[in-house]
Chains A and B, each alone.
Chain A
Amino acid sequence: MPIYLSTLKEGCSTEAQRKQIAECITTVHVDVTGAPAQFVNTFFREHADEEGGFRALPKGNIVFVNGNIRSGRSKEAKAEMMERITQGVVDALGCRPDEVGITLNSGPASHGMEGGQILPDPGSPEEKAWKETGHAKVPQ
């Protein structure tokens, strides 16, 4: 976690643009929360299928970013992430800000598992140890 599930209008993005968006989301999340980059996951889908956590595209949007993060982040932190990610998507796709939708959902850390470990709460002693183990590997 976090997992950013982004719905894109079909045929409106290249691999390079998706890469730019994934890099932007990673950078912003790491900057604002201090989480290691290897914990930041971004998935894209070009079909509005909400069952897997992706959101349908609102009318007029060409992308909708549905971010799922652990509970415990401040309103200010979430506002900064949403603003910077929106700008990053605009830069990547060359679209207007009003064509970009974004939401951040917070869920209990203990409801998720990565690397075979239950996720710790942000700022907890368990999180420090979790980060130090570096269970998640950066893809080569």
Chain B
Amino acid sequence: MATFIATIQKGHRAESMQQELAEELKEVAQESLGDDTAGSDVKWKVIPQGFGWTAGRPSNSSVLLCVVPDDLQFETRAAFMTRVNDLWVNRTGAAPEELLIFTQCRTL
């Protein structure tokens, strides 16, 4: 099982697409990481507008923390993050630099 924790700012397009984005992220996890990630979970954390900053200026950036199985090979992890990035950018219309993705092992 993988867990996605998405921190977005209020008003971000993803806020109104949470259910469909969640389903698609789960599909990406299962297809990229294997059946071990069936039944993945997606949690949303919506912070107020003006609570996200890049280079000391207000930004529309979002953070997607992905808790993934241990011992992922580099290629698998990279391919997974690329698919997540592409999905997010294509579905929400966000610019690529407005999404920060981090993967974290389950046991940490």
Q: A: which residues have CB within 8 A of B?
A: 1, 3, 5, 15, 18-19, 22-23, 25-27, 37-45, 49, 51-53, 68, 107, 110-116, 118, 135-140
Contact residues in B for A22 (Cβ distance below 8 Å): 53, 56-57
Contact residues in B for A3 (Cβ distance below 8 Å): 63, 100, 102
Closest-CB distance, B20 to chain A (whole angstroms): 21
Q: B53 touching A112 by the CB < 8 A rule? A: no
In the assembly, what is the distance between CA of A45 and CA of B59, in Å?
A: 15
Q: B45 touching A51 by the CB < 8 A rule? A: yes
Known: A26-B55, A45-B51. A113 touches B101 (CB 8 A): yes
In the assembly, what is the distance between CA of A118 and CA of B97, in Å?
A: 12
Known: A18-B51, A137-B97. A110 touches B74 (CB 8 A): yes
6 new A-B pairs (CB below 8 Å) besides A110-B77, A113-B102, A136-B97? A3-B63, A18-B50, A19-B58, A53-B7, A112-B81, A116-B96
In the assembly, what is the distance between CA of A49 and CA of B50, in Å?
A: 18
24 residue pairs from A and B, CB less than 8 Å apart: A18-B50, A18-B51, A18-B53, A19-B58, A37-B55, A38-B55, A40-B54, A43-B47, A43-B51, A43-B53, A44-B47, A45-B7, A52-B7, A52-B45, A53-B5, A110-B77, A110-B78, A113-B82, A113-B85, A114-B99, A115-B97, A116-B85, A137-B95, A138-B57
